[in-house]
Structure 1
Amino acid sequence: MEDVSNMLKRFEGSEEEAMLKKCLHLLDPLNFLNFVIKSCNAFTPVSFSSADIVLKPLYDEHLRGSIQNRTFCHQFEEVELEELVPRYTKVTFHQLFNMDIVKELSTNGVRGLKEEYKPALLTILTYLRNLEFHMEAMSCMGGLDETEVTAIMVVHFLSQLIPGKDYVTDNRSSGVSQTQKCPCQHKNCKETVKSGCTAIGSSPVWHGYADILLSQKIAVSVLPKPPTSDKEKTPSKEDTDNVEGPSASKRVCKPDQDSEEVKDTLVETAIMDCSVSKQMIAQAITNAFARLNANPELSGWLIPTLACTRDDFLVFLYDPKNDVLLQCEIEIPIWVENTLSMNAVIQIWMLLNFTFFMNKNLADDYEIEKSNFHDLVDKMLPLYRSTSCHKFFTGDCSPIEETYKRMLRTCRLWAKEAPQKKN
């Protein structure tokens, strides 16, 4: 097989190298919110979709709102309103990523790069060279179901941005064989979709399945397209069949405009939903523990977990060693009208290759709040630290139901009569 260094030399002075350097110079940096968990059900045997998480800022906002409501003021006489102003911390792009590497790539491109970074660089340059083909293949996702969208997203986007194209999709989806042809219907696409077990976690605690596992490190969930708002016209089937690129909801606004108005619109219309956040935080934490357990060299890294629709990405990061939880402050739109956003492509590429581009043990250098997950799960923490992946979860009823029935049987057998109070 040809040496990576020799393959990279073909890109010296190329259009793709120039495009990468320009994109890095013009990058719209993504910041991440540092979240603390107030309460959760991580110590119960439930799936990710049944995860219940209350973030501390959400709790504080709710309590503050209740106190400000005059109807309930008398119930909070001992609470000072000023004490309940939520504390928000964010980790900036420049803090999270190794800016020396970003600067070197944006200045020198292929030349003089350290050996360990070359495989990741080769993936993005190869993708940019074949960008038109992949974009055309992705443009047909409008009328497809989640399984088909998952296949196209991994074949023509996500797997292309990691060395070795190492991935597996969930083989439990209906009609999915171990290998199937990519459903993009592009005449030049000969790719097959690799599927297998994507189980994460342990049945006594949070557990479930990712839609995609990348590089045996990163979990991805593909979500249904969010419904259009009342202000948007719902396109007919004929409309969606004849439209290329993103959905109608994403063509309403142009994500390349750098304004707060656009960012607020994106937050309202895309995948930053409370129920999505709960499910994805549970998956991000569990997946990070599973990956660290399988590969101790990942200790200290913020391990990414992604949620996506065919229009957007939402990124969660968790460091099991330092108990740090981050979520991107805004979703990443992957389309600029009918064209893939280069800003999204580059930032997702950097996130997927996090061990090359991110800073390790971020909590050692910055005052970042712990997520409180370690304390909340208490004696269940060893279960997370030993959790694994690639184990199917079986049973006729959910683990929480089994535990509940076992608890009732034990109570009936061993419960003692309540003793009389002593005066």
Structure 2
Amino acid sequence: MAEAMIGKMNINTEITKQHIGLRHILKNAEKHELAFQEIFNCSAACGGSTFSKAVFRMPYFGIDECQTSDPPEPWMSTVCRMKDVFDYDILAKLLDDPNFDTNIKTNYDDLVKFIEDKNQHEVCLQKMCQSKCSDGALVVTKTDIAYALAVHLFAPLSNLQKSCILDNHSEGFPKSCPGGCGRSVAKGTTGIGAAQTWHGYADISVNQTVPVKVLSEEPHDLSVDEEQLDQSDSEDSYDSITATRTPFYQRTDPISEVLAMTITNGFAQVNENNSLTNFLIPSIACSIEDVMVFTYDSQNDLLACIPEHFRLWSRTDKHHFDISSIVRIWLYLNFRTFMRPSILESFVIEKSNFHKIAPLRHYQQYSKCGVIDFSSKDKTPRVRETQSARKRRHSDDVSR
């Protein structure tokens, strides 16, 4: 009886933490969340290629030296606040009455269950964090990291365990979670795009909607003082930021790959489901310790990212999750429920220029999700076995 009471108290404590996570998100309604990006140039104009070959030239990203073709500085980025991105009325109602909407409660139950089980998730992921050589490099494989993150982060936060799949091209696929818990996740088809466009395979696909790129190393550490960043956030500071405000990502690999995946997935999802038109459809890049989020609205040509990566683990206790980060990931995985469908209804935002640079018709017609392979019939050499039956009969007659 005493043990049961202690267990119930522990669960209640974790649920309280989950409420704290939601309250933190609500409290930070005025904080910067998404920064909209202008593409100066990118390799999409060169025709179809894999995500890994994508190249971008963007403000604060992929630029070592200014070129005469670049727009004059200072380069500006429109920034929206948390409450501009997510429907805060829904989030506030969840704290008062989680049962107010059946469909929303289903998503909310996933978060509650995750917090209840979070100690189990933390143990396995911590084993991944601690599997390092003396020089600090991880000794576990990228597939191991992807497997553990799928089992202990993305699957439990996205409704059903089977809704989260790993790329079936993954090498060294383990039989169960490399953290030792015995839980498993399935391989599946994670292909995005088409041979005529950017294309490739997400490391993890969540609900066949949100692709995840797993980084074997930590994301690039931005040269921004986070305390200074927080202090500069104010109620009316969402209009724009300059180069002195946030440097964004300073390397082209693998972030170019993630950007290409984000844009292509934005088209693919709308082609598959027209109800996602006008949504900032997210994709995620993450290591075992940090998370980055990118979004793209293919209808309105809006590319945005969270300006700085956020930590998966608490700053005060590195063995436990940062609950606010968990809630944030949960919101993006369930963007169809919690995200405002059209930012443009409230703001005038500069386009990303992708529509002007890329062969737009190809992305709107050909880009798909759940693609098995990207071989193009147009580019496949015709072999003798593929000729028509009429031609085969003619050939047989001649040979006789």
Using the alignment, how far apart are the partners of 2:313 and 2:290 within structure 1?
8
Closer/same/farther in 2, CA of residues 272 and 60 from structure 1, 3 Å limit: closer
Residue 301 (1) aligns with residue 279 (2): yes
1:150 to 146, 151, 160: 146
Q: How far off is 1:260 after superposition?
A: 2.8
**Farther-moved stretch of structure 1 (21-30 vs 115-124):** 21-30
Note the alpha carbon deviations across 1:106-162, whole angstroms, 9 max, x for none: 3x152x421220111000000111111111111110321110010000101111101
Using the alignment, how far apart are the partners of 1:370 and 1:332 within structure 2?
26
Note the alpha carbon deviations across 1:333-372, whole angstroms, 9 max, x for none: 1012222111110100111100111100111221111111
Residues 47-58 of structure 1 mapped to structure 2, 5 A cutoff: 47-56=50-59
Residues 213-292 of structure 1 mapped to structure 2, 5 A cutoff: 213-226=205-218, 259-260=227-228, 273-292=251-270
Residue 45 (1) aligns with residue 48 (2): yes
1:209 maps to what in 2? 201
1:345 aligns to what SS in structure 2?
helix
Using the alignment, how far apart are the partners of 2:178 and 2:145 within structure 1?
8
Q: Do the aligned partners of 2:165 and 2:205 also contact (CA within 8 Å) in 1? A: yes
Residues 133-148 of structure 1 mapped to structure 2, 5 A cutoff: 133-142=120-129, 143=131, 144-148=140-144
Note the alpha carbon deviations across 1:195-250, whole angstroms, 9 max, x for none: 02211111122111100000110000101114999xxxxxxxxxxxxxxxxxxxxx
Q: Do the aligned partners of 1:201 and 1:384 also contact (CA within 8 Å) in 2? A: no
Letter in 2 for 1:176: F
Q: Do the aligned partners of 1:60 and 1:84 also contact (CA within 8 Å) in 2? A: no
Letter in 2 for 1:259: E
Using the alignment, how far apart are the partners of 2:101 and 2:374 within structure 1?
46
2:358 aligns to what SS in structure 1?
helix
Q: How far off is 1:182 after superposition?
A: 1.6
Closer/same/farther in 2, CA of residues 227 and 386 from structure 1, 3 Å limit: closer
1:365 maps to what in 2? 346
Letter in 2 for 1:288: G
Q: How far off is 1:278 after superposition?
A: 1.3
Q: Do the aligned partners of 2:266 and 2:281 also contact (CA within 8 Å) in 1? A: yes
Q: Do the aligned partners of 2:143 and 2:172 also contact (CA within 8 Å) in 1? A: no
Residues 171-186 of structure 1 mapped to structure 2, 5 A cutoff: 171-176=168-173, 180-185=175-180
Residues 383-422 of structure 1 mapped to structure 2, 5 A cutoff: 383-393=363-373
Note the alpha carbon deviations across 1:13-67, whole angstroms, 9 max, x for none: 944443222222223555111001111111322111110111156599943xx79
Closer/same/farther in 2, CA of residues 30 and 215 from structure 1, 3 Å limit: farther
2:21 maps to what in 1? 23
2:388 maps to what in 1? none
Structure 1 runs (4+) greater than 4 angstroms displaced: 56-62
Using the alignment, how far apart are the partners of 2:157 and 2:215 within structure 1?
21
Name whichever structure is richer in helix by fraction.
1
Using the alignment, how far apart are the partners of 1:296 and 1:172 within structure 2?
29
Residues 95-110 of structure 1 mapped to structure 2, 5 A cutoff: 95-106=84-95, 108-110=96-98
1:307 aligns to what SS in structure 2?
strand
Structural RMSD (CA) = 3.4
Letter in 2 for 1:386: Y
Using the alignment, how far apart are the partners of 2:281 and 2:220 within structure 1?
32
Using the alignment, how far apart are the partners of 1:369 and 1:205 within structure 2?
24
In structure 1, the gaps of 5 or more residues are 1-9, 68-75, 230-256, 404-423
Identity %: 25
2:3 maps to what in 1? none
Using the alignment, how far apart are the partners of 1:330 and 1:228 within structure 2?
10
Using the alignment, how far apart are the partners of 1:37 and 1:297 within structure 2?
26
Letter in 1 for 2:350: E
Letter in 1 for 2:85: L
Using the alignment, how far apart are the partners of 2:49 and 2:352 within structure 1?
20
Using the alignment, how far apart are the partners of 1:203 and 1:97 within structure 2?
34
Q: How far off is 1:389 after superposition?
A: 2.4
Letter in 2 for 1:37: I
2:134 maps to what in 1? none
2:169 aligns to what SS in structure 1?
coil
1:325 maps to what in 2? 303
2:35 aligns to what SS in structure 1?
strand
1:160 to 148, 156, 161: 156
Q: How far off is 1:277 after superposition?
A: 2.4
Letter in 2 for 1:141: M
Q: Do the aligned partners of 1:292 and 1:299 also contact (CA within 8 Å) in 2? A: yes
2:173 aligns to what SS in structure 1?
coil
2:393 maps to what in 1? none
1:196 maps to what in 2? 188
Q: How far off is 1:294 after superposition?
A: 1.2
| Total equivalences in the alignment | 337
- TM-score scaled to structure 1, two decimals? 0.72
1:117 to 90, 93, 104: 104
- TM-score scaled to structure 2, two decimals? 0.76
Q: Do the aligned partners of 1:162 and 1:353 also contact (CA within 8 Å) in 2? A: yes
1:419 maps to what in 2? none
Closer/same/farther in 2, CA of residues 151 and 262 from structure 1, 3 Å limit: farther
